[in-house]
Structure 1
Amino acid sequence: MENQFRDELVPAETPGLPERFFDRFVFNLHRTDAVVPSVLVGLGIYPPKDTVDGFAILCTETEQRNIRFGSLLSATDGRSAGPLRWSVLEPMKTWHLALGPNPTGLEFDVTWRARTPAWFGEVAVTNQDGTSSSFEHLFQSGLYDGTLSIDGVPQVVAGWYGQRDRSRGVRTMSGGQGLHIWYQAQFADRSIGFLLVENREGGRLLLEGAVMHTDGELDTIVDVRHDLSFDDSLDLRSGTVEVTTKAGPVYLISCDASAGGALMAGGGYGGHHGRAVERDHLEYDVYRLDGSVSPRTLDSSLTDKLAAFSWNGTPGIGIFEFALTRSPSYTYRPTLA
C-alpha cells in the first residue's frame, strides 16, 4: 500500500486542488531510553491559498519552547520555509531535515531512515456540522542520525527514534469528538501505531492502524480498548491500552505519561494552520511546565506526550498523542474492564 502514496509534497503549481487542500508532514525525535529532550517539527502547504506554515517544539524537563513560522508558498523554493529545510532522499525510506538558528535555541541536522514499513490509509469522516474530511494518511517508524544542539551545546544523534506522520487532502474535524488518540509505541523490533477517535458518548468514530515490524510484517489493528488516567487539567498521567490485531496477537501495554510538555497549541494546532500570514512570519513563546498552562487552558487540548511503555515486560518509548473535548457534556469512559 505504500506505493499508493506520493511521499514528496505536491508541487505548489498543481492545478485543480480543493480550496481547503493541505499537504503536511510531522516528525518527532527522541532518544530510545529517555523522555527528554522531546522534539517535534512539522510543516504544511496549502497551494490554493499560496500559504505554507510550520513549527518546531522542544520539550525539556522544565519548559516547552515553541516556534511557529509561515510565509507565502510562492516565496519559497519548495524545500525550505522559515528556519526549516527538508528533502526526500528516497521516498518512503529516507528524509533529511535541518533546523537552523531560531529563538528556541534548538538546531539540528539529521537524516531519518525508515525502520518499519508504513501504515497507509484513507480517512473519511462526516463532521457534526455536515462538512466532510477526506485525506490520505500514513505513519511510519524510523531512526535518526546526525547532530542536534540546544543552547549551543551539541549532541550526537545516533539511532534515536522518530515517528513520522504524512497526511494530504481535506481535513476539518469540527465538533462531536470526545476522545482522540494517535498512538506510536516504539519497541526494538516493532512499532504499534493507531489513530482512534470516539464521540462524546464513547462510540467509535474511527480506528485505523497496524503493528509495523522491523522485519517488514504489517499486521492490521482491528480493535483497541483503553483505561486511561487524566488529571483535572485533562493531562494524561498513565494508563493501559489493549491492542488486537488481524493476525491474532493481543498487546496489553501500560504507559507512564508523567513527563510534561508537547502541548500542540505551541505548534499552531487549534485552528491556526493554513491561515494566511505575511512573508517570513515567525512567532516564539515558552510554556513553563509547572501547571500554569495545560490542555484545559490553551486553544487546543491536543498533546503529543513522550511516554514510557511496557509490554509483556519489554520496555518501549514513543508518542502518546491525545485530546479530550472540554465540553461539559463529556466524561471520559474507559473501555478496558
Structure 2
Amino acid sequence: MDPAVTGNQPLVRNDFHDRLVTPGQAGLPDRFFDRFVFNLHAEDAQSPSVLLGFGMYPAKDTADGFVVVSDRTEQRNLRYSTELSATEGDGAGPFRFEVVEPNSVWRLSLDDNPIGVEFDLTWRARTPAWFGTVAVANATDESTEFEHLFQSGRYDGTLTIDGVTQAVDGWYGQRDRSRGVRTMAGGQGLHIWYQAQFPDYSIGFLLVETRGHDRLLLEGAVMHESGLVDPIIDVRHRLTFDENRDLVEGIVVVDTESGSSFEVSADARAGGGYMAGAGYGGHHGKQLGIDHVESDRYRLDGSVNPNTLDSALTDRLCTFACDGRQGSGIFEFALTRSRSYQYTPSV
C-alpha cells in the first residue's frame, strides 16, 4: 500500500483491513502477529493516562494484552494471556473489544481485575488514518515487514478506578494497528513513537535511529480533522534526558510533504508509562496457558525508571505546545542502554 496519501480524504477508508485475524486462520508465517494499541487521556493531560493493547499470535495459539494506568504517584500494570483457540477472537482475560465500524468506531471494555481499573469505552475517529508498510533489514537473517496505521480519535464512556467512576467523553485517544512480521533487532539507538494531539489535527510518526545516529526508519503524517493526511518527510529533535535515560522535555521539528513545518515542545515530567509493565521486555506472544492474568504496581518516586526495567520503552503522557497552541498526547521513547551510545540532538 502507498503511505503517501495526500489531499482531502474521508475519515473512513478501506485500504486497511481493520478486523483482526480469526482464531484458526491458516497459512500465516510463524512469527506473524496482529495487534492494536490505544491510549486514553484528557485534553489537558491531567492524570490518569491509560494505555491498552491486545495481540494475536496464530502460530503460537496465543492471544495476550495489557492495560497500564499511570497517575502522578503510581503505575498499575495488568497483563493477561490465553490460548487463541480458546477465545471467540474478541479479547482475553477481563478485556473485550469490538470493531463496530472498521477504521471508524471501536468498543473497548475491561471487567473486574487485580489492578482495580475498569472501563466501558467507545472510540470514534476524528481524523483519517495514516497507512503504511514498514520494511526494515535487520542484523539477523529475519526481515521485518508489517502493515501499520496511526489514527486519532475521541472517546465516550466511563473509566472506573478503585470504585470511583468518571465520564471520559471527549478525551483524546490515538490508536496504532499493526500486522505482519516484526523482528527489529540490534543496532538501534533512539526510538520515538510520537502522538501529539491538537484540537484540529494530530501529529503521528515512528522514528528509529541507529547507534551511529543514522536514520533507520521514519513513517507517519500530520492527520487533520478536515480530512487532510500530510505525510511527514523529516523529523529533527532536541531532547533532554536525565541520568536514568528518562525524558524530561524536548523540541521536535516536523516537516511534511505539503511544505508545512511544525516545531513542537513537550513537557514529559508527568512520569509513568513504563512499557515493561505492559510486557514489552520480550514477553508478548509467549505461551502461558489458558486464562493467565498477572499484575504489579510501580511507585513513581524515582525507584523505577528506564535503567531499572527489562525494557526502556516508555509511553509518557505529555503536554505539547506548537505555534502558541496547547496540546497533549503520548511521547513514546527509548534510548539504547549500550555504553557506546550518547544521545545527540539533530536540531
Question: Does 1:229 find its partner at 2:224?
Answer: no
Q: What is the one-letter code of the residue matched to 2:203?
A: I
What corresponds to 1:37 in structure 2?
A: 48
User: How far 1:3 sits from its partner (Å)?
Assistant: 2.0
How far apart are the structure 1 equivalents of 2:191 and 2:141? 20
Out of 125-134 and 90-99, give the one that drifted further: 125-134
Aligned structure 1 segments of 4 or more residues deviating by more than 4 angstroms:
none
What corresponds to 1:282 in structure 2?
A: 293
Question: Which residues in structure 2 correspond to 1:190-269 (within 5 Å)?
Answer: 190-269=201-280
Secondary structure of the equivalent of 1:158?
coil
Question: Which residues in structure 2 correspond to 1:45-124 (within 5 Å)?
Answer: 45-124=56-135
How far apart are the structure 1 equivalents of 2:41 and 2:214? 33
User: How far 1:35 sits from its partner (Å)?
Assistant: 3.3
User: How far 1:60 sits from its partner (Å)?
Assistant: 1.1
User: How far 1:127 sits from its partner (Å)?
Assistant: 1.2
Q: How many residues align?
A: 336
How far apart are the structure 2 equivalents of 1:54 and 1:206? 26
Pairing partner for 1:18 from 16, 20, 29: 29
Q: What is the one-letter code of the residue matched to 1:325?
A: T
Out of 216-225 and 124-133, give the one that drifted further: 124-133
Q: What is the one-letter code of the residue matched to 1:309?
A: F
How far apart are the structure 2 equivalents of 1:119 and 1:3? 12
Secondary structure of the equivalent of 1:232?
coil
> Does the CA contact (< 8 Å) of 2:24 and 2:85 recur in 1?
no
How far apart are the structure 1 equivalents of 2:321 and 2:190? 22
How far apart are the structure 1 equivalents of 2:196 and 2:168? 20
User: How far 1:34 sits from its partner (Å)?
Assistant: 2.5
> Does the CA contact (< 8 Å) of 2:64 and 2:285 recur in 1?
yes
What corresponds to 1:187 in structure 2?
A: 198
How far apart are the structure 1 equivalents of 2:314 and 2:169? 26
Question: Does 1:6 find its partner at 2:4?
Answer: no
C-alpha distance after superposition, 1:293-333 (max 9, x if no partner): 11111110000000000000100000000010000111001
Question: Which residues in structure 2 correspond to 1:308-319 (within 5 Å)?
Answer: 308-319=319-330
How far apart are the structure 2 equivalents of 1:135 and 1:315? 33
> Does the CA contact (< 8 Å) of 1:43 and 1:52 recur in 2?
yes
Q: What is the one-letter code of the residue matched to 1:270?
A: G
Question: Which residues in structure 2 correspond to 1:290-309 (within 5 Å)?
Answer: 290-309=301-320
> Does the CA contact (< 8 Å) of 2:45 and 2:317 recur in 1?
no
User: How far 1:256 sits from its partner (Å)?
Assistant: 0.4
Q: TM-score, normalised by structure 1?
A: 0.99
How far apart are the structure 1 equivalents of 2:140 and 2:339? 19
Secondary structure of the equivalent of 1:6?
coil
Pairing partner for 2:151 from 120, 128, 140: 140
C-alpha distance after superposition, 1:263-286 (max 9, x if no partner): 000000011001111110011100
How far apart are the structure 2 equivalents of 1:35 and 1:6? 34
What corresponds to 2:346 in structure 1?
A: 335
Q: What is the one-letter code of the residue matched to 2:167?
A: V
> Does the CA contact (< 8 Å) of 1:67 and 1:285 recur in 2?
yes
Question: Does 1:151 find its partner at 2:154?
Answer: no
**Percentage of identical aligned residues:** 64
C-alpha distance after superposition, 1:235-276 (max 9, x if no partner): 000000000000011101101000110000000001100111
Pairing partner for 2:174 from 151, 154, 163: 163
How far apart are the structure 2 equivalents of 1:186 and 1:193? 9
User: How far 1:79 sits from its partner (Å)?
Assistant: 0.9
Q: What is the one-letter code of the residue matched to 1:209?
A: G
Secondary structure of the equivalent of 1:248?
coil
How far apart are the structure 2 equivalents of 1:110 and 1:238? 31
How far apart are the structure 1 equivalents of 2:192 and 2:91? 30
User: How far 1:134 sits from its partner (Å)?
Assistant: 0.6
> Does the CA contact (< 8 Å) of 2:54 and 2:91 recur in 1?
no
What corresponds to 2:9 in structure 1?
A: none
How far apart are the structure 2 equivalents of 1:172 and 1:224? 24
CA RMSD of the aligned region, Å? Answer: 0.8
Q: TM-score, normalised by structure 2?
A: 0.96
Secondary structure of the equivalent of 1:282?
strand
How far apart are the structure 2 equivalents of 1:322 and 1:286? 21
User: How far 1:164 sits from its partner (Å)?
Assistant: 0.4
How far apart are the structure 2 equivalents of 1:150 and 1:94? 24
